Structure 1
Amino acid sequence: MAQFKVYGRADVLRPARAGLSDLLHRAAVEVLGLPEAKRFHRFFPMDPEDFPTPEGRTHRYTVVEVVMFPGRSVATKKAFLRRLFADAQAQLDLDPVDLEVVVLEPPRHDWGIRGLPGDELDLTYRVDV
């Protein structure tokens, strides 16, 4: 299980939304091992005054939060981050300095999905990759 929240300036995020969603999904499937059908991306386009740009970043600054079941190795998570940075630069011309990604892994028992605690779900895919 993984959910993606993407934050950025509305004037930048809206036109990049489809490409960014495709990029995130490919990396999640190919690196994290998510099934092709699992695509939970939420976009939060914001007015510039509500989304300040940190020093050293441009107006294209984008933040991605990935909330997922724990279990993937540190090497897998690092490979996922590296893939996002490389693909964002190559495919969207988004410089790595303008992309910030955080991976959050709440314990499965802290999730509630389809009427069950997450640690009681039978998954059709592995998270220990």
Structure 2
Amino acid sequence: MIVIYGIKERLNPIKSNLSDVIHGCMRSVLGMPEDKRAHRFIPLEPEDFYYPGGRSDAYTVIEINMMAGRKPETQKALIKSLFKELDSQLSLAPIDVEITIKEQQPHQWGFRGMTGDEANDLKYKVNV
């Protein structure tokens, strides 16, 4: 699951394209299937979103929640791909993007009535 935060006036107009760019990176780097998109957008009022100095009102936070298992170099490749594609496709400058990857053990995920460590029919690899 991916959660995206930003100031609503800047985030709302690009939601669909931003989702496409993020999912494209997830597919190309992690091998996620086309139908495995789980994005949540949190558009905020400017007074509810404090961000570091030197950033513009386009500042966007992307939190990627995933099952543990991806190698550090795979995670870094995902982050770098996101920076590159967000800049080239949406003109969202790397200075205005913060990306965090939060890993949880498979037993800490629950979906389709089971935990992640019980799922044996995933259409993607976790250990890449």
Q: So what's the TM-score if we normalise by structure 1?
A: 0.95
Identity, in percent, stands at 45
Equivalent position to 1:48, from 46, 49, 73: 46
Which stretch of structure 1 is more off in the superposition, 102-111 or 115-124?
Answer: 115-124
* 1:36 to partner: Cα distance: 1.2
Give me the CA root mean square deviation.
Answer: 0.8
1:89 to 87, 90, 94: 87
Question: 1:128 aligned to 2:127?
Answer: yes
SS at match of 2:81: helix
- The CA deviation at 1:45 is 0.3
Q: Tell me the residue number matched to 1:10.
A: 8
Paired residues in the alignment total: 127
Q: TM-score, normalised by structure 2?
A: 0.96
Shift of 1:70: 1.1
Letter in 2 for 1:23: V
Instruction: Give structure 2 stretches of 5+ with no counterpart.
Output: none
Post-superposition offset of 1:124: 2.4
Which aligned segments of 4 or more residues in structure 1 are displaced greater than 6 angstroms? none
Where does structure 1 lack aligned partners over 5 or more consecutive residues? none
